[in-house]
């Protein structure tokens, strides 16, 4: 019995020592399984933030670094090819002051570079043919007036049976013939270049002015050429028939030479960008003509585009280069070229996630001057860094260098 009591007392003392030891170490004591779970969670978070290809940046850090974001989306690439050419006057805005008779130049009212308005008198000539045509018209006018008066009088007399019907018919025939001759003389003056008002005023002009013909500008513009001198003979074979060439440069043409490989992509109505060689000048022009034929010598096709030139900034004769757009299939994902960085020889974009950026390798396709097609590695709608991506590349390379030293 005494032994049993001593045994129980020893057990109680042992339990007391255990409790005192536990109290000195802290209570409750963390179980090994719980410590293992906490360590696992911490290692996972650390692995996520320190994983290769990931950069941890908060929103304020992104803003301070000047990194701008954009969503990847689809669209059409602005692809083009270049075509050489030169500027020439618009053929619809070139006017020539010319004559149709033999004459002598008596007056030149415009000099090279002078501005003229449509219908303005720019020169005068003297011609025997003009005098004959005007005289013939005046004679036909008088004859017609007389015959028409006789016809009206005969018509009154035939109604009162004072003259016979046969006599009246002869009078009417003569009046009709006079009218036809007057119309012919008038048309001849029109063909010589006289206006309606000039013809109507002929009966009021002195006889010595009948040999004079005034020449008018067919269009508004500037005098680009003067081909005759005062007193010069004009209007016959072997002699100059043009006095002035007038050009309106409000619109000019761009004459392009397009290779056979590219001509199939050019369409009338498409807009092209024109740049002057050796300068920074550029402007837009619209294609109005695509030749169906190739030049026999150059094997190029001629393409004409019209270029607005209200300020006369563009000069004919200037050599230019045209950017002609190419049509193509739309792309599912297009990003700015500024968003791409080359890392270890692979095109890479930086995709925004919850706590930073993921450096993701992509495969590229077609491209234009500003954008590039992403064939694989990026989906439409994902947010990527666009501006200052070199900062992210530098940070990524810095992190990889630190990991390699560790």
Instruction: Flag the least confident range among 221-235, 243-257, 316-330.
Output: 316-330
- 289 and 338 belong to one structural domain: no
Domain membership flag for residue 135: yes
Domain interval for residue 65: 54-77+330-405
Domain assignment present for 186: yes
Average pLDDT over residues 367-396: 83
Residues 256, 310 within the same domain = yes
- Asked if pLDDT for residue 10 goes beyond 60, the answer is no
Co-location of 295 and 358 in the same domain = no
* Same-domain pairing of 258 and 320: yes
Is residue 341 within 8 A of residue 389, CB to CB? The reply is yes
Average pLDDT, rounded, for the chain: 82
DSSP state of 31: P
When pLDDT is cut at 50, 70 and 90, the band that residue 352 belongs to is confident
- Residue 42 within any structural domain of the chain: no
**Structure-model confidence comparison of residues 329 and 380, the more confident one:** 380
275: confidence class by pLDDT, cuts 50, 70, 90: very high
Does the pLDDT of residue 8 top 70, yes or no? no
User: Same domain, yes or no, for 196 and 262?
Assistant: no
SS3 of 54, please?
strand
pLDDT range class, residue 126, cuts 50, 70, 90 = very high
Helix (H, G, I), strand (E, B) or coil at 331: strand
Q: What is the pLDDT, as a whole number, of residue 32?
A: 38
Is residue 121 assigned to a domain?
Answer: no
Residue 361 has pLDDT above 50, yes or no: yes
In this prediction, residue 35 has a pLDDT band, given cuts at 50, 70 and 90, of very low
Residue 169 within any structural domain of the chain: yes
**Whether the Cβ atoms of residue 49 and residue 56 lie closer than 8 Å to each other:** yes
pLDDT (mean) for 388-398: 80
Lowest mean pLDDT among 248-252, 317-321, 382-386: 382-386
Task: Give the domain CATH number at 58.
Answer: 2.40.420.20
What's the half-sphere exposure (Cβ side, CA atoms, 13 Å) at 323?
A: 12
Point out the least confidently predicted range of 35-49, 131-145, 287-301, 326-340.
Answer: 35-49
Residue 114 confidence (pLDDT): 94
H-type alpha helices, 310-352: none
* Count of structural domains, the chain: 3
219 or 327, higher pLDDT: 219
193-200's contacts with Cβ under 8 Å and 24+ in sequence apart are 193/99, 193/100, 195/119, 199/137
With bands split at pLDDT 50, 70 and 90, how would you rate the model's confidence at 327? Answer: low
- Residue 229 forms part of a structural domain: no
pLDDT value of position 392: 81
Q: Which of 41-45, 47-51, 154-158 has the highest mean pLDDT?
A: 154-158
The pLDDT of residue 44 is above 60? no
Distance between CA atoms of residues 96 and 225, nearest Å: 9
More confident residue, 37 or 197: 197
What are the DSSP calls for 115-134, one per residue?
A: EE-TT-EEEEEE-HHHHHHH
Among residues 325, 352, 380, the one where a domain terminates is 325
Phi (first) and psi of residue 392, to 5 degrees: -65, -40
What's the pLDDT at 94?
95
Count how many Cα atoms sit within 13 Å of the Cα of residue 291 in the half-sphere of its side chain: 16
Structure tokens at 105: 């130049």
Residues 197, 204: Cα–Cα separation, whole Å: 12
Q: Average pLDDT of 57-64?
A: 79
Judge whether residue 46 has pLDDT over 80.
Answer: no
* Angle 176-181-186 from CA coordinates, rounded to 5°: 125
pLDDT of amino acid 404: 58
Contacts for 146 with CB less than 8 Å, ≥ 6 apart? 178
User: Which of the pair, 143 or 366, is modelled with greater confidence?
Assistant: 143
Residue 30 has pLDDT above 70, yes or no: no
Q: Which residue has the higher pLDDT, 405 or 389?
A: 389
CATH number, domain of 263, equals 2.40.30.170
Boundary of a domain, candidates 210, 242, 263 = 210
- Give me the pLDDT at residue 125, please: 94
Q: Are the C-beta atoms of residues 304 and 287 closer than 8 Å to each other?
A: yes
Residue found by looking up tokens 């399984």 in the block: 33
* Distance from C-alpha of 154 to C-alpha of 151, rounded to nearest angstrom: 5
Residue 67 lies in a domain: yes
How many Cα atoms sit within 13 Å of 194 on the Cβ side?
Answer: 24
Give the pLDDT band (50/70/90) at residue 406: low
Identify whether residues 309 and 349 lie together within a single domain: no
pLDDT of amino acid 4: 42
How sure is the predictor about 154, in pLDDT bands with cuts at 50, 70 and 90?
confident
Q: Is the pLDDT of residue 232 over 70?
A: yes
Percent of the chain with pLDDT over 70: 84
> How many helices (H) and strands (E) would you count in the chain?
8, 24
Contact 229, 105 (CB under 8 A): yes
The answer to whether residue 371 is domain-embedded is yes
pTM of the model: 0.61
């Amino acid at each position: 019995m005494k032994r049993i009591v001593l045994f129980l007392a020893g057990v109680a003392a042992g339990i007391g020592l255990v409790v005192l030891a536990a109290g000195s170490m802290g209570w409750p004591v963390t179980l090994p399984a719980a410590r293992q779970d906490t360590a696992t969670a911490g290692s996972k978070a650390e692995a996520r933030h320190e994983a290769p290809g990931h950069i941890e940046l908060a929103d304020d850090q992104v803003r301070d670094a000047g990194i701008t974001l954009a969503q990847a989306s689809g669209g059409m690439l602005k692809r083009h090819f270049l075509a050489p050419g030169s500027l020439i006057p618009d053929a619809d805005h070139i006017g020539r002051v010319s004559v149709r008779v033999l004459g002598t130049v008596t007056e030149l009212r415009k000099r090279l570079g002078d501005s003229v308005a449509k219908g303005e008198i720019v020169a005068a000539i003297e011609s025997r043919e003009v005098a004959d045509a005007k005289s013939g018209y005046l004679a036909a006018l008088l004859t017609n007036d007389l015959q028409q008066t006789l016809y009206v009088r005969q018509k009154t007399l035939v109604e009162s049976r004072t003259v016979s019907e046969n006599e009246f018919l002869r009078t009417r025939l003569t009046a009709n013939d006079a009218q036809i001759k007057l119309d012919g003389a008038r048309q001849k003056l029109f063909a010589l270049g006289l206006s309606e008002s000039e013809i109507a005023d002929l009966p009021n002009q002195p006889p010595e002015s009948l040999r004079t013909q005034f020449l008018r500008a067919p269009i508004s513009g500037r005098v680009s050429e003067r081909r005759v001198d005062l007193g010069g003979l004009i209007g016959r074979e072997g002699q100059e028939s043009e006095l002035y060439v007038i050009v309106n440069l409000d619109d000019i043409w761009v004459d392009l030479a397009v290779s056979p490989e590219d001509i199939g992509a050019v369409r009338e109505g498409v807009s092209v960008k024109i740049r002057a060689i050796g300068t920074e000048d550029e402007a837009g022009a619209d294609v109005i003509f695509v030749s169906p034929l190739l030049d026999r010598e150059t094997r190029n096709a001629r393409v004409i585009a019209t270029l607005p030139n209200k300020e006369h900034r563009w000069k004919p004769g200037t050599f230019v280069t045209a950017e002609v757009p190419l049509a193509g299939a739309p792309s599912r994902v297009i990003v700015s070229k500024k968003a791409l960085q080359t890392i270890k020889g692979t095109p890479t974009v930086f995709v925004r996630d919850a706590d930073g950026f993921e450096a993701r390798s992509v495969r590229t396709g077609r491209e234009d001057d500003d954008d590039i097609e992403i064939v694989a590695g990026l989906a439409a709608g994902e947010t990527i860094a666009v501006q200052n991506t070199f900062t992210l590349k530098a940070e990524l390379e810095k992190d990889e260098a630190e990991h390699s030293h560790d």
